[in-house]
Structure 1
C-alpha cells in the first residue's frame, strides 16, 4: 500500500470478488479522496472495509481513472462498477467540474472509465445524486412515499431530488438565486465558517433557502448532509420550514452506496 492509501479498520482483507450475493462495487470520486467499497444492495451497508486513495493532483481524467483502477483491483472486482463525479453528468459526459481538474469538462467519463477498467460496464453519475438515491433507498428517506430532497452543505450546496424513488438527475439548486444571492453563497457551511455565524444565525439563512425550495417543489422531506449534518441537533431545531428536516444517516458511505446501486440500474447510463 502506498503512503497515500488508507484502509478502514475492521476487516481482514480488501478482496471481495464478485461471487455470490446481491453485491455491487461503488466508487466515490471527491476533491480530496477517491473512496470505494462493496455494497450489500439489500441493506446499503458496506461488505468489508472501505478503500481510500488520495485524489491525484492535478486531478486530470487519466490520473483519476488510474486511481479508480487501483481501487477496483484491490477488491479483485470482476463486475460492473458505479462511479460518482463532483460534476454534472449527462449520457456519461462530464459537463462541469467542481473540486476536480477543469479538463474533465466535455470528457466522456463513462468511456474513459470503461476503457481503463478493461472494457467492463460502468455507470457515472453526479455525487449528490448518488448520495440522494442511497439516502432515499436505504437511509433517512426510505420510509417516505413522495418527494425527497437531499441537500449537502459544504463548500457549496449539492442537491438531489427524488419522487417515489425516481431521480431527477443533475439538479443544481445550490446555484438558485434566493433573495438576490446564490443559495450556496447564502447558506453553505463555508459561509457559516467565513462569517463566524452561530448555529442559530446560520439556521436563519438555511431556512430562507429551504423555504424557497419548498415554495417551488413542495417536498415531503428534506434530508441534510455534509459534515455539518453530524451536528444537526445544534441547528436543525432552529429551522422554520413547514417541511420536516432530518439529518442524513449514511454519512460518508452514501456516495459509495448510491454509485453501487447505479451500477445495476439505468441510473448513470
Structure 2
C-alpha cells in the first residue's frame, strides 16, 4: 500500500485534487479548478497536470472519472463527450504526464471506497452534473452499473432527469420532487442495506430521506482514492 496517494476527482463542472495518506485522510491542501468547456482528452490531461503541479511528493495516482472505465480506458463520458473519450487510454496518458502509476475508476465507485462500512449490500448515488451510482458487497466493489444512461421518465435518462441542467431548469423544489421519485427505483433494483448520497447537488436535498439513507460529504470523491490503491490488483 503506497504511503502517499495523489487523488483526483474529475467532474463535469470542476477538477479537484489532494494528497492522501493510506487511511484516505488529506495530508495536503485541497485544490480545485473549473473543468474546461469543451474538455477534449488531451486538454484534460494538461489541465490536471497543471492542477497538481504544487504537489511535489506522492507515490501513485488515483482518479475518479464520470463515466464507464475499464482497464484504464474510457468507455463512456456522458458529460465530457463520449465521442471524444471512447477508447482513450486515460490511465496510461496520466501516468506518462505525471511519472507515477495511475489507477482510474468511475467517480461514484471511488466515492464508495471512502464511505461504505463493508457490511452487506451498500449503494452510493452521486448527484452532480449528472447522476452516478456504485454498489459494494461486504466492502467489495461490484461490477459497475451505469444507471445514468437508463430511461428514468419517458424520453429522459437519469442523467437528464435529475442532472444539474434540469435542477437549474426546474428549480430546487421541482428537482427535489424528481429525486424523491427516483430513489425508490434504486432500492427496487438492488435492495441495498444502506444508500449513501453524495455529489455537489446533495446539499440541495430538502425532503425526508428513506430509511437507511444518509448524505455523505462530497470530499469523499477525493478520499476514496486511497481505497482504489488498497485493491491488490486493478483493471
Q: In structure 1, what is the equivalent of residue 157 of structure 2?
A: 182
> 1:267–1:100: structure 2 CA closer, same or farther, 3 Å change rule?
farther
Which ranges in structure 1 are unaligned for 5 or more consecutive residues?
1-20, 137-141
CA contact (8 A) 1:122 1:263 kept: no
**Distance across 2 between alignment mates of 1:205 and 1:53:** 29
Match among 205, 226, 229 for residue 202 of structure 2: 229
Q: TM-score, normalised by structure 2?
A: 0.84
**Distance across 1 between alignment mates of 2:119 and 2:161:** 30
Secondary structure of residue in 1 paired with 2:53:
helix
> 1:27–1:268: structure 2 CA closer, same or farther, 3 Å change rule?
farther
**Distance across 1 between alignment mates of 2:9 and 2:226:** 10
**Aligned residues, how many?**
232
Q: Give the 5 Å matches for 1:116-155.
A: 116-118=97-99, 120-136=100-116, 142=117, 145-155=119-129
1:262 and 2:228 aligned: yes
Q: In structure 2, what is the equivalent of residue 194 of structure 1?
A: 169
Which ranges in structure 2 are unaligned for 5 or more consecutive residues?
none
Secondary structure of residue in 2 paired with 1:196:
helix
1:94 and 2:74 aligned: yes
Q: TM-score, normalised by structure 1?
A: 0.75
CA RMSD of superposed structures (Å): 2.6
Q: Give the Å deviation of 1:211.
A: 1.8
Secondary structure of residue in 2 paired with 1:96:
coil
CA contact (8 A) 2:61 2:101 kept: yes
Match among 142, 145, 148 for residue 171 of structure 1: 145
Q: Give the Å deviation of 1:183.
A: 3.4
Match among 30, 39, 45 for residue 50 of structure 1: 30
Please identify the structure whose Cα radius of gyration is greater: 1
Q: Deviations over 1:115-134 (max 9, x none)?
A: 2223x311011112111222
